[in-house]
Amino acid sequence: MTTLEEAPTVMEELVDLPDPETQPLVHPLDLPAARTDFRNGWLVGAATGLPVAALVAGIIAYLTRSVVPPIVAFLALSVFGAMASRFAINRAWDHIPRKRQDRERPLPRSWDLGAAAILALALGVALLLIVYRLDDADVPVDVRSFTFGMSAVAALLVVADAVFGLLRPARRGRALASLPGVVVVAVAVVLAYGAWFDGDAVGSLMFWGAVSMAAAGLLAGAARLRERRRVNARAGQP
């Protein structure tokens, strides 16, 4: 009986937590032993989130001019990226007893800007390859049609991610920082339609491109939701 009651005290001594009288709640960024894991986990999450994964899939769709590689890349980045991010972040939180975890602390503003910079980089490369170079005469209209369907859904994912971010106080700063990139994505998809097609778009291929990306997005979103619920249950949150 006494062992269970004394376990949190032993952990506090081992990780050298701040004095609970002066700082009752602790974040991994407060501890040198946990800071690296938390930072690495956040970086992986920012680089493999749904918007970035969707843009990378669009780039791969152009480079390979195929259907399967972009879908595989999207799933690999979004699902395995989320798992790797959560694993590193969980290891960081494991340094702190549950009752002293400061999970509501907002991240530094510079981190929000860093996430926006990652999105902007993927966005810039995607726009250069997809909007302009896909307009080459040697690119079949079938490829343009399928890629546009995927790109349209990717843009919707980017916009949806920003909207949900604005609705959540913990993510609002990051969502605000990403808004310029989100607007560029939405406008680029609209402009791409006029640049790629001259009344010759293949509607059926657009539809299947959109369905493929939507299915990939649903699978990735379900996996991320399941992982988030597992983490929240572990942390004792609803």
- What tens digit of pLDDT does each residue of 4-22 get? 444 444 444 456 777 777 7
Residue 131 — pLDDT band, cuts 50, 70, 90?
A: low
Least confident of 50-64, 69-83, 152-166, 219-233: 219-233
Indicate if the pLDDT at residue 168 is higher than 70.
Answer: yes
| DSSP H or E segment with residue 127 | helix 109-127
Structure tokens at 95: 């340094």
**Going by C-beta distance under 8 Å and a sequence separation of 6 or more, which residues neighbour residue 183?**
none
Helix (H, G, I), strand (E, B) or coil at 136: coil
Structure tokens at 47: 């680089």
CA distance 42 to 40: 5
- Residue pair 115/177 in contact by the 8 Å Cβ criterion: yes
Cα 233 off chain centre by: 21
Q: What is the mean pLDDT of the chain?
A: 78
Token pair 């509501």 in the structure block, residue = 104
Cα 73 off chain centre by: 14
The alpha carbons of the chain give a radius of gyration, in whole angstroms, of 21
CA distance 149 to 192: 11
